[in-house]
Amino acid sequence: MPSAILTISSRNYSSWSLRGWLLCRMAGPKFKEKVMPIDDPDTRAELLLLSPSLLVPRLEHDGANVWDTLAIAEYLAEVFPDSGLLPTDRKTRAHCRSVSGEMHSGFFNLRSALPMNIKAHYPGFKVWSGAKPDIARVTAIWQECLSQYGGPGLFGELSMADAMYAPVCTRFLTYDVALDKDCADYCKTIMSWPDMAEWVEAAKEEPEELEEVDAEF
């Protein structure tokens, strides 16, 4: 029997749902998925960045009701300390929390200019200038972490930080963002992650479409 329920929305469009799902997979509890329909008003508002509520994903586990992806990550790391979501070294753990928090609270221009759309591909896409500093900051974080901790994940083994940045890898692929070799290799590592590959396949089979996103490009 599943010991938890994870509420998510669209696999194709919801970057936060992907993060929460990967975190649960990494932590290891058996969980049942509850999928919110894409035509739900709150779901559409969230996917179109019209609502800051971020009530999805939501994790119900052992009497706890946890929403907000970073809160889910910290909850899972606390309940399942051997999951590897956070590094064991104190300084490395602080670094991991810092880059995860930066993704959680920032990069709005990247989110709005390059919305997650796994099924789409736009070769030669012209990136809006407002998103370029966000892209540069993401790649700088990746380069620093990969150099300092040796890969293949940002902190060696896959961690909370990799779940937080995984949707960015899909965005870079969708919009054909040029990357240096280390960052391109990191994206390949994340996209070949079995849990990630499973999510992507399910996203490609998702019949629903968010017209406002698809019509934008």
Dihedral sign from CA coordinates of 91, 93, 97, 103: positive
DSSP code at position 157: B
- Could you tell me if 23 and 8 lie in one domain? yes
Beta-strand ranges (E) seen in 4-101 are 4-8, 31-35, 58-61, 64-67
Cα(68)–Cα(104) distance, integer angstroms: 9
Residue 110: its pLDDT value, please? 95
CATH number at residue 140: 1.20.1050.10
pLDDT level of residue 215 (50, 70, 90 thresholds): very low
- Count of CB atoms situated within 10 Å of the CB of 129: 9
- Count of CB atoms situated within 10 Å of the CB of 173: 18
Q: What is the pTM of this model?
A: 0.90
b/e per residue 194-217 (b: at least 16 CB within 10 A): ebbeebbeebeeeeeebeebeeee
CATH number at residue 43: 3.40.30.10
pLDDT, tens only, 151-182: 999 999 999 999 999 999 999 999 999 999 99
pLDDT, tens only, 138-150: 999 999 999 999 9
Containing domain of residue 50, as a range?
Answer: 4-83
Q: Look at the chain and report how many structural domains it folds into.
A: 2
- Could you tell me if 139 and 157 lie in one domain? yes
- Could you tell me if 96 and 125 lie in one domain? yes
Q: Is residue 70, in this structure, part of any structural domain at all? A: yes
- Could you tell me if 97 and 187 lie in one domain? yes
**Under a CB-based contact definition with an 8 Å cutoff, are residues 7 and 57 in contact?**
yes
Partnered with residue 156 across adjacent β-strands are: 153
**Under a CB-based contact definition with an 8 Å cutoff, are residues 98 and 92 in contact?**
no
CB contact set of 212 (below 8 Å; sequence gap of 6+): 48
- Could you tell me if 187 and 152 lie in one domain? yes
* Averaged pLDDT of the chain: 90
